[in-house]
Structure 1
Amino acid sequence: MRKVCVITGGGSGIGLATAKILGEKNDVIIVGRTAKKLESALDQLRTLGISAEALECDISDRSAVDHLAAIARSRGTITAVVHAAGMSPHMGDGETIMKVNALGTINVNESFYEVMEEGSCIVDISSMSAYLTPGFILPKRKYKYSRINIEVFMKKMMSRVNLFPQSLRSSVAYGISKHFVIWYAKMDAAKFGQKGIRVISISPGSFETPMGELEKDEVNECLKHSAIKRLGRAEEIADLIAYCTSDKASYLTGTDILCDGGCVASGYNPLKR
Structure 2
Amino acid sequence: MKVCVITGGGSGMGLEAAKAMPNDRIFLLSGRTIQKLDNAARLLKADDKQTYIMPCDTSDRKQVHELARYAASLGEVTNVIHSAGLSPSIAEPEKLLRVNALGTVYVNSEFAKVMKKGVIVDISSNSAYQLPKFMVPKGIYTLAEKDEAKFLVKLLRMCRFVKDSYKSSGLAYALSKNFVIWYAKKSAFEYGSCGIRICSLSPGLIATDMGECEKNEGSSMLRYTAEKRMGTPEELGFAIAMAADERNGYLTGVDILVDGGSVNGKYYQRKE
- Coarse TM-score class (shorter-chain normalised): over 0.9
> 1:1-273 residue pairs with structure 2 within 5 A?
2-22=1-21, 24-118=23-117, 120-167=118-165, 168-267=167-266
- Point out where structure 1 has 5 or more consecutive residues left out of the alignment: 269-273
- Count of matched residue positions in the alignment of Structure 1 and Structure 2: 267
AA aligned to 2:238 is: D
AA aligned to 2:160 is: N
For 2:137 and 2:246, the matched residues in 1 are separated by 35
User: Is the 8 Å Cα contact of residues 139 and 160 (structure 1) preserved in structure 2?
Assistant: no
For 1:267 and 1:187, the matched residues in 2 are separated by 28
AA aligned to 2:251 is: L
For 1:244 and 1:220, the matched residues in 2 are separated by 27
SS at structure 2 position matched to 1:254: coil
User: Is the 8 Å Cα contact of residues 205 and 215 (structure 2) preserved in structure 1?
Assistant: no
Deviations 1:17-36 (A, max 9, x none): 01112252221011101111
TM-score after normalising by structure 2 = 0.94
How far the C-alpha of 1:255 sits from its partner, in A, is: 0.5
SS at structure 1 position matched to 2:256: strand
User: Is the 8 Å Cα contact of residues 137 and 160 (structure 1) preserved in structure 2?
Assistant: no
For 1:247 and 1:111, the matched residues in 2 are separated by 19
How far the C-alpha of 1:220 sits from its partner, in A, is: 2.4
- Point out where structure 2 has 5 or more consecutive residues left out of the alignment: 268-272
For 1:154 and 1:90, the matched residues in 2 are separated by 20
User: Is the 8 Å Cα contact of residues 119 and 246 (structure 2) preserved in structure 1?
Assistant: no
Q: Which stretch of structure 1 is more off in the superposition, 133-142 or 76-85?
A: 133-142
Deviations 1:113-165 (A, max 9, x none): 100112x0000000000002333433222111123222221222212112221
Q: Which stretch of structure 1 is more off in the superposition, 237-246 or 123-132?
A: 237-246
